[in-house]
Amino acid sequence: MRKNIVAGNWKMNKTLQEGVALATELKNALATKPNCEVVIGTPFIHLATVSELLKGSCIEVAAENCANKASGAYTGEVSAAMVASTGATYCILGHSERRAYYGETYEILKDKVLLALENNLKPIFCIGEVKEEREANKQNEVVKAQLEGSVFNLSAEDFGKLVLAYEPVWAIGTGLTASPEQAQEIHAYIRSLVSDKYGKEVAENCSILYGGSCNGKNAAGLFANADIDGGLIGGAALKCEDFKAIIDAF
């Protein structure tokens, strides 16, 4: 059975001290095990401290990115091996902000996914269309190309280690959420693509998260759908109370 997951993405927010405070608050708030897996994605410099702090808790830690090279003369980059050495277990890859602002192509992302997997990190691989593509009804072809370009090269065994996150770019940080019907429709399509490529069992076991202005008010309506297995949360992951409200939707 696939897992339900609520994953936070702090992006470039929180100093180390603020991050430690939020992680501590979350750990205390989730002392009673929630009905889903909980992951927090933090900036690189927080990973080691936050992973140590959350050891033995029900909260897993994710990096928000990793390098597309294994090691060497790449000043300022952080490798998948370095991420794994902090105790983090997940790595968010392919976020639309990385694609848009840092030129992450299908090929670059393909390499990042392979390196994350080689280092036993579970990628949370983000896909989703921009507003113009949704308006032109091209969302299905966009997500198909993103999957084919960066992750459909994987073996079924490796693909099984991925979590997918459908994030319509027009809904990220905008307050515009995809309706539960819109989200369910494309999540079902994404699962059908996985099924066509890897078979029904792999598709049924694949967690597909929704991301884009998800909050404590709309989460339950989204998560009630058969193919929506949780959320990737930006803004609402920055406050314990807001994040916990989404977790409590399960």
Contact between 235 and ligand PEP per CB under 6 A = yes
239 sits near ligand PEP (criterion: CB under 6 A) = no
Q: Is 43 in the site for ligand PEP (CB under 6 A)?
A: no
**Nearest of 114, 131, 55, 132 to residue 89 by alpha carbon:** 55
User: Any contact of residue 234 with ligand PEP (CB under 6 A)?
Assistant: yes
The piece of 26-34, 61-69, 147-155, 228-236 that touches ligand PEP (CB under 6 A) is 228-236
| 102 touches ligand PEP (CB under 6 A) | no
CA 214 and chain centroid, separation: 13
* Nearest-angstrom CA–CA distance, 82 and 77: 10
Q: Which amino acid is at 205?
A: N
46 catalytic residue (yes or no): no
> Which residue of the chain is nearest ligand PEP when measured via CB?
234
Counting DSSP H helices and E strands in the chain, the numbers are 12, 8
**DSSP three-state, residue 150:** helix
Active site residue 37: no
Instruction: Give min distance, CB of 41 to ligand PEP, in A.
Output: 9
d(CA 202, CA 199): 6
Stretch that binds ligand PEP, among 25-33, 116-124, 147-155, 234-242 (CB under 6 A): 234-242
Contact status, residue 202 vs residue 163, Cβ threshold 8 Å: no
Binding residues among 161-200 for ligand PEP as defined by CB under 6 A? 167, 172-173
Binding region for ligand PEP (CB under 6 A): 9, 167, 172-173, 211-214, 232-236
